Structure 1
Amino acid sequence: MGISVGVLGPVELRRDEVLVPLAGAPQRVLLARLALAGGRSVPVAELIEALWEGEPPDNAMGNLHSYVSRLRRCTGGEALRREPGGYRLDLPDGAVDAERAERLAATARGQESAAAAVTLGEALALWRGDPLSDVADRMAFAPEVARLGELRRHLREEWLDRLLASGAAAEALPEIEALAVAEPLRERAQSLLMRGLHATGRTPEALAVARTYRKRIADEHGIDPSPAMAELQRRILADDPGLRVPARSGPETPVRSGLERPVRSGLERPVRSGPKTAGLIGAPTRHSPAAAGAFSRDTGAAGSSTPRVAGEDAWRPGGEGAGVVAGMAGAAGDAAGGGSRRRVDRFFGRREEIAAVRAALAGGAVTTLVGPGGVGKTRIVREMLGGGELVVELAERSVPEDVAAAVAGALGMRAAPGGGVAALAERLGSMPAVLVLDNCEHLLDAVRALAGELVARCPGLRVLATSRHRLDVAGERVLRIGPLPADDQVALFCDRAALLRADFPDDSRTRELAAEICGLVDGLPLAVELAARRESVFGLAHLRDRLGAGLNVLEPARGGDRATAVSATVEWSYRLLDPASQRMLDRLAVCRGGFGLDALPYFQEDAEPLLAELVDASLVVADPPRYRLLETVRHVGLGHLGPDGERQAREAHARWMLATAAELVDGARRRDPRTYPAMRRELPNLQEALAWLGAGDDGARMAAMLAVVGSDSPDPGLTEQLARCAPERVETESDALRAVAAGTGEWLRGHLPEADRLLTAALDRLPRDHRLRWGALLIRISNGMFAGRPEPVRQDAERMATDTHAPDWARATGICCSALMDAYGGDPAAGTRWLERYAGALDTEHLDGFVPFTRGELSAGADPEGALAWYDRSIAASDRANLIYTGHVARVARAAVLIRLGRTSEAIGACREVLAAVRAANMTAQVWTMIRLSAELLAGLGDTQTAAALVAAADGDPMAPVVMGPDRDRMAGIRTAAATAPPCGGGVAGAAELASARLTAYAEEKRTKRAAPHEG
């Protein structure tokens, strides 16, 4: 029975060449994930992640088994196999179409050009559309979608290259032209076009391609083409015979041989080679003086000047020198501020957005760019215009009648007489044309009516609108424009700041601060540019701090309008809302980090319709199931509330967060793996509510709940906030809860005596049946471990073991901590006996990884290889439950065993990675442990001076954990080996930086040695 899987298009399964229908998305996701594993076993956790993307149902394992069963019935036989920890799809070689494409590509590399072109055509024919198109929205497939998309582009370029090399330039040229249009910034595509044009006797056009490409990448990226492109241009100018391959003789083979599904550039109609492909934006075919804007001239190196009609075949946006509304708009576009007027400052990014706009315009009559004010909608349109479009700016128009009048004026008409729209439609006629309506949000009804009527009457018309709200025209394609990607934000900021300050630095610290500044203004291009203007006044660090306190620093000193001030852009959109939506927006402004639909009832009943209006108005960003206000919108909304309104909004927000915190505690008790991602998702809101609630009873309750949950998934900001909750005295239950919170924060920060004091005071005050008491007891046990106090740990572990209110995993953790104190004191056998005493309470590996971690620690001295296996089990169990703390503790222990086994290369890599991870989580005790382990590793490498300095730094810091058992002898040996080592300043941060730098140097040294050629 032959099984094959297709991923180069929608996911499909075939059995004996017969298509097998798949019941639904879960089967396609499973099949694709297994097929792309290349015959390897895929862990259950990865399959669950692919199916539910971080939010699995309660019965995820049961559902997975059900889906696998159904898929096994589709595959038949034994193709889908159960393996330890996962599943594997056992397929014959070449049964996955992506593998076949890669093999054909490898075969082509060893063939001569004509045969290789046929082979590559066969590879391209395997694509049935975009790879994994019906599951491409899943994050699990993002790398494969990108890889297969790039493979497709590479194969297409290689196929066209081989066609040119085999003498088929004339046949290949139409496809090369389509590729060059689709990939205007891809150098190989432009090089292929140059070669194809030159080979078919169109040398002036080939040289024009080189000039256009050079200008394009210089304008957009400030770089020059590669030396290879310059060399190709030189060879064309010299008429190098090697570039003119004789046309092949014999029967003509269709250039699409083996490519029944040609790769398209997003256009519906084919592009013909020859003189009628000069323009990229459709234009009229008649010649008239008024149509001058619709023609381009070939002005190659030979100085020819032959008129050519722009794009009779298809409407294709973005072309150079092309016209659109010629015959009647010709010169009017310039008079109206049309597409030929371009800003001279550099433009950054937005290539995907521009490509999406072009594709949408090619296939639809009305396209609207929707996004918040300042996001750069107008600039995107201006960058993609070719010069002959009819551009109508509506920002300064104020009444509905102005819309038709503005279009009439751009067409060169004194007015829109008689029927208004009918007159405009008669003037436009049926010829291809593009009408750009910019800034439509305040005249939506009039724009909707005009655009709908014009596209109904003018079959060749395309309308491109920019607005903060969609037009709601029939057939409208809406493209939502978001902030710039992070790299482009920083590039834009630095470019604009450098214009105002000649000595603006260009280094990593500058880019780091610029990234923080851009994040504070949401990456909106307008706000980024305004912030860059203020850099020369305040400097980077002060500008960042001022923006953190509010956006007033960006406001103009005098006046300002919605094109030049951040708050004015928001206010403009805000005034277009009805009062109920305005109130809703203002209340939501207290949310930080977004919100879900579950939050809405706390702010207003029946709020979903209002939320929909806010999303439509681009004031709320929708990424279901999450929604968020940009920081610029939040600041303006908070300014509208007033003292009473803000108090009411924050009370509603606090009620929502208190309920959320209670749900998180319940999830933590169950070790629900969704708990910690949910906490990280809502962390900004939780911290905001905690700060507002302050020292009251609700604030104390929230702080304690966040401490119990957050101890397993520490966040540096929350840790510091919890540490500030310490009460002056512990007299009431609220005092005790604040002491639990502060004690947890101090434990995470490494202030062990203070943590013990606070936690002990809290436990003395809290009732024995309090729902958070077990959490405080568990944290005190952990604190006692790092303080090296075995007897208090043992006593607390016994209390925990008999606490009926504590969850099973917490009792097991307490028992294990007591056993670990024996192991760290040098008597692992006693720890093993202690575990045997409580063996019935330790079946918790399905909940977390602390029991296997403990077994690894107990066996590390006698059986280090076995200990590594235990640590791996611990890390896997912790990762399944999203437990950062336990996972990092197991990684620390694993690094220690690698050092003592002498597996130096692995140990260096592990120490570097784990040190960075525990620093990022602000786990101070583990940071010091990793610094000591790094010292042990460096001493073994002969770097005794650095090792001794690191040990001395740990000895001198009271926050470093106590060294016990055999570790005392190891550290003592390092100290005496280099008693004169220079001190290491900077506390834990300085010691960590030193350790990391030395480990990185040794890793680089080993890499260089491996890469060096062997001498023989």
Structure 2
Amino acid sequence: MLFGVLGPLEVRTSAGEPIAIGGPRPRALLVMLLLNAGRVVSLEQLIDGQYGDDPPAGAANAVQAQVSRLRRTLPDGAIESHPAGYRAAVDPDEVDAHRFERLARVGRSMLAAGQYGPAAAALREGLALWRGAALTDLPYGQAQAARLEELRLAATEDLIEAEFALPEGTSIADLAALVAAHPLRERLCGQLMRALHAAGRQAEALEAYERTRRLLADELGADPSPELAEIHLALLRAEPIERPAAAPPVQLSSFVGRDADLARLRELAGARLVTILGPGGIGKTRLAVEYAASLDAVFVDLSDVDTAEAVPLAVLGALGQRESGFAPGPAMEPAARLVGVLAQRQVLLVLDNCEQIVAAVAVLVRQLLEGCPRLTVLATSREPLGLTGERLLPLAPLDTPPAVRLFADRAAAVRPGFAVDAANTAAVTEICVALDGLPLAIELAAARLRQFDVAEVAARLAGHAHFRLLSRGDRTAAARHQTLRAVVEWSWDLLDPDAQALARRLAVFVGGARLPAIEAVCGAGVEDLLADLVDRSLVESDGGRYRMLQTIRLFCAERLVEAGEDARVRAAHARCQLALAEEADPHLRRAEQLEWLARLSADHDNLMAALRWAVDNDRRTAFQLVAALAAYWWFSGRRSQATDAAVALLDGDMPDGLEEEWISCVVHAGARASAEQWKRAGELMERFDRPLRHPFGAALWGMTAGPPDGDATETHGVLLDADPWNVALGRLSTVLLGLLGGEPTAEEPQMRAALASFRELGERWGTAQALDWLGVLASWRAEWDNAYAAWDEAYDLQARLGASEECASILCHRAESLVRQGELVAARAEIERASALLAEAGELEVPVEIQLGFAEVARLRGDLETAADLLRRTLAATEGHGFGAEWLRGRVLTACGRLAAATGDVGDSVRRHGEALAFARTSPFAVELAHAVEGVADGATLVGAYEQAALLLGIAVALRGMAVVGDPDVARTAAAATTAIGPGAFAAAYARGVAMNRDEALAVLDNLRS
């Protein structure tokens, strides 16, 4: 049965069929019983809840009659009679209010532990249970309803906090609405201030604080909380308010037996690298967490990392950093990005479980310590990292007294009231000695008290040959590892064959999984077996996902191989992950894209594990995974994680029928794909005679390879079918080509139509792209208010996706508009914001667009030396870095020509403008040719060709289809020509240029070159 009280009372069978509960009194009675599911509710409480303080005569008989009505409606046994009252004999988890409270607790616990993705998932699941106001069928339940509503608000605040650390972020508009609805909740106000700050809207953040401060003073006569005041102070000081990093996980059990080791670790606080050494299960992680809990620390769990390339990515993720999306220029190496993020931070980096990739961790730690002078590192490993200056803290097994205390503490948690006494001291001591004082082994043994008493546990351990062997003599690290292995093996032996089969098959899930995925891979109907594994501490559960400890997972993986099931189960796992990716793909292009990005992020480790396995064992599935996950990787800033797989797949034949998937591999391989592979991919794109299975591939190809040759409308008509997002993408692509091809006025209505299509779908990426370009068009006409309104909305949407690169591009467009308004200081500030945004994401190499912006502002402000240095570096950055960077080369050459003119070098200026014009003629974009022509016009004034300068300015307008109003360089050129030949002659020459079509303009330019 399923019961809903978070809204109007709703009762459904397990099959989802509704059951009508008639009458307000029976409905109120059932709500009261459900609020106490599994517990007896007295008759007096039921009368109070039905009638309040003034019950009628015969109220008890009325309640009994209502119970009878409910029993006739509900299944047998749903409501039980007891001498003291009545009881709803249902599992509390069948009632949405209890399920919501459990998920809210789980979410808050995970949030405190720095597990932001799982926390957000649990909180979203809980909040989704609400269908309206709680307990609407309980007229005298205001206090209970208020309590649930308060929990709902607190869970919402927790969800917002978790979303700050996720790629999808949180909605500023939704936050603002919550603050307006609950103006006295300071935590919400602080979250809104942080979100506005992250979006670059500092003034609005300060305004939000001031509103709350005034309201607190007027309504309550109180000052803002210290937490809110701290955020306000950081804003005033222009200090960064960083997204939360992964803090050391909050521990739910006491710290037992390692006080002396903790003191030794604190004595080593001055060392920059300390490694806690010991075998698996000896307590390295717990000691590190206990030490770091009171410090500014970032916790990185490397237990699921199995490749060298994944180590820096794991650290970036723990720091709350996402990968940037497409950017002109080469992709930044993750390790170099880490240095950029941590270079000036004073923080403790805890790297847990380094042993399986110790060499890769050592390389990264050396690089970080050399480039980040204020950073300290605490590692846990079974062997040293082997770096100069490393301080080692080896852990020994617990002595018997602390081991007994640990066993007693953990045993009491699973068997309330347990204590070590005269009757069981010998047995407990025997257990601890047999387990060699290994904390994890002791905790696993204590968990067995759910099924056995202490004597039985001791007897089973004593009867195990491995334990008898390893309880004596001088033990090496490997031998102590075998002790832990024996504990896991013993737990394994307690399982029946069906549970063993499930346990070994679960080992293919690297990052845990939800029940439907487990059933798809391991077999249907395993829910009870799964619950049994959770009870036996072989599997952990957060209420939604199930996950094995790494040690147990590796043990079970070996059993999977021994059973001869490894290939079959891993193939099923890969198919399951492919099904998830293909199911998610269309949702990523709709209003629910943030929800599906979060869902894929929760299964990211599984997706990548499936891809790695498929590359070696099932190339067809691997190709399909790359294409299906492309939008997810790019939207969530993870595209570089597909590079190795894509390169490996390209080193072989292309499977039949997977041309689209092969092209996706070329795009993700990037510079590591050969010129021949890029050429072949281009030929395949041109030959497509069907819609793409994954339409985002068309957008990826356009962003990486440039616009198609020939009729773009015809090309998109072939690639994209009638799906609404496909239609909107095709329209946007065609409009962009027309706009950049010199027809902005004609294409603007179609751009607005594309925007409307994306808005109707609720898809943020396409909406932001269309808004950005509408802002550019408005700025060309000097419609500044319209431009900034479009850019503000586009920025907010891209920020919610976590798209730092796209946000930086929008800021650069804003800066260009400010330059044309003569606001050079403000323009530089916008470019600095863009640069800082990329730096926060770990991008150390400044993109061409930003370098060019800095150079142009420096030139216009008269700082010619700085401008020259910037342009030298910018010009070099446009060479050999692909379409995205190279198409800006013409603009950089034009800037070099204007700088040469400013320094008085006429010859160099004319030469540079000629180079810019020659390069721009190879560009597919007429706007780039127009920009170069304006530069040539500038050069013409230097040699006294004033009428030609006027003609060229007109040609530039004809090529672009619109004048760029307010360009300071164009204005200077026009003024010089007008002064020299007079207004009439200038106007006539300018008009001749404006009237030319493209072919006539190119002929004039050819004559100029000759």
> TM-score interval w.r.t. the shorter chain?
0.3 to 0.5
Normalising by structure 1, what TM-score?
Answer: 0.44
The structure richer in helix per residue is 2
Structure with more contact order per residue of length (Cα contacts < 8 Å, sep ≥ 6): 2
